[in-house]
Amino acid sequence: MLLDGKVVVITGAGRGIGREEALLMGKLGAKVVVNDLGAHFDGTGASAGPAHEVVDEIKKSGGDAVANGDSVSDFKGAQRIVECAIDTFGKLNVLVNNAGILRDRMIFNMSEEDWDAVIAVHLKGTFNCTRHACVYWREQHKVGDVLNGRIINTSSDSGLLGNPSQSNYGAAKAAIAAMSFIIDREMAKYGVTVNAIAPVARTRLTVEATPATAALMGQGTGEGEFDVFNPRNVAPLVAWLASDDAADVHGEVFRVGGGTVWAMQGWHSAAKVQQRGVWDPSALGTKLKTELAKGGTRKETMADVFAGGL
């Protein structure tokens, strides 16, 4: 099987996208650490139930898994997540950073706590788990145990394209995309790849927390019909990126939803104005307005994504 013998940690795997990733990777032969704090979508509360339910499903399908309830936002807790894989299954091959929360506010209504909580789970949580996994893989590589680590991070169109009321979430998700290709360059010599996905799927974060998005995604389809927004559609890409077959895929960001995968590109020069010498501000403004009016710098929006279909 594609992931036979691999040991995988998936954070936030108790529900939604993480759950589907865990179930599929378990079916493909991986031993899975199902990490989930069991919190509400805003990060409050905790429950061991969701993680254990996913573990039970994996085991019923003939796979092997263990539940972990540590918080990714805690540095030592993230270390325990990585150690859970090593202690239980003897090694770690793959880390999927998926855990996330939402606290949407327009910037003039956003509290410091709203900002800190979202950054702590998404950005710091991704750093925490990634850092501990990379320390482990580097140390193993030095003693000749090349584990060919795989990290798949979870970005978002909110960070890549922008979405009102999500400056905290979008900032974290944009930073995660940048982290992915930076850390990939740092870890490539140890046989590690780091890539990221920007999923388009119906989850608690897109249904309960963002009603406008929920309206666009609907409630699903009838039996036998293909549901383009089902989070199950995201998992195959993540499973493949975790495999040996994706060894040459480095520092990429993919949007994924329905039956479609887009290879994304980050900031790049779309237009320029130039002269030899210091610009007069008014003259520079005139030149820039002329260039911008050509339309070559128009940014894709999240509304464009939905309007174009998946």
Contact 9, 81 (CB under 8 A): yes
In this structure, of 25-29, 38-42, 99-103, the range with the lowest mean pLDDT score is 38-42
Indicate if the pLDDT at residue 66 is higher than 90: yes
Report CA-CA distances (Å) from 135 to 11, 139, 206. 18, 6, 34
What pLDDT score does 119 carry?
Answer: 98
Rounded distance between C-alpha atoms, residue 96 and residue 109, angstroms: 32
Indicate if the pLDDT at residue 259 is higher than 80: yes
Indicate if the pLDDT at residue 279 is higher than 90: yes
List 71, 73, 155, 156, catalytic entry: 156
Higher pLDDT pick, 44 / 80: 80
Q: Is 156 a catalytic residue?
A: yes
Question: Which SS3 state, helix, strand or coil, does residue 256 take?
Answer: strand
Entry pTM: 0.92
Rounded distance between C-alpha atoms, residue 207 and residue 209, angstroms: 6
Would you state the structure tokens that stand for residue 205, as one six-digit string? 């974060």
What percentage of the chain has pLDDT greater than the value 90?
82
Indicate if the pLDDT at residue 302 is higher than 80: no
Indicate the average pLDDT of the chain: 93
Which one-letter DSSP state was computed for residue 298? P
Q: Is 173 a catalytic residue?
A: yes
pLDDT in tens, 113-151: 999 999 999 999 999 999 999 999 999 999 999 999 999
In this structure, of 129-133, 268-272, 301-305, the range with the lowest mean pLDDT score is 301-305
What pLDDT score does 217 carry?
Answer: 61
Phi–psi pair at 65, nearest 5 degrees: -160, 160
What pLDDT score does 172 carry?
Answer: 98
Phi–psi pair at 176, nearest 5 degrees: -65, -40
pLDDT in tens, 181-240: 999 999 999 999 999 999 999 877 665 556 666 556 666 666 678 899 999 999 999 999
Give the DSSP H/E element, type plus range, for residue 193. Answer: strand 193-199
Q: Which residue shows structure tokens 């887009």? A: 262
- Residues facing residue 59 across a β-bridge: none
Rounded distance between C-alpha atoms, residue 304 and residue 17, angstroms: 22
List 136, 165, 167, 169, catalytic entry: 169
Q: Which residue shows structure tokens 């990490």? A: 35
In the chain, where are the structural domains located?
7-264, 270-310
List 31, 136, 155, 173, catalytic entry: 173
Which one-letter DSSP state was computed for residue 297? T
Which CATH architecture is the domain 7-264 placed in? 3-Layer(aba) Sandwich (3.40)
What pLDDT score does 2 carry?
Answer: 98
What pLDDT score does 298 carry?
Answer: 72
Q: Stretch 165-190: mean pLDDT, rounded?
A: 98
Give the DSSP H/E element, type plus range, for residue 151. Answer: strand 150-154
What pLDDT score does 219 carry?
Answer: 62
Higher pLDDT pick, 62 / 217: 62
Which residues have a Cβ under 8 Å from the Cβ of 72 and sit 6 or more positions away? 11, 12, 35, 37, 78, 81, 97, 99, 121, 124, 125, 126, 128, 129
Rounded distance between C-alpha atoms, residue 18 and residue 16, angstroms: 6
Q: How confident is the model at residue 42 (pLDDT cuts 50, 70, 90)?
A: confident
What pLDDT score does 46 carry?
Answer: 83
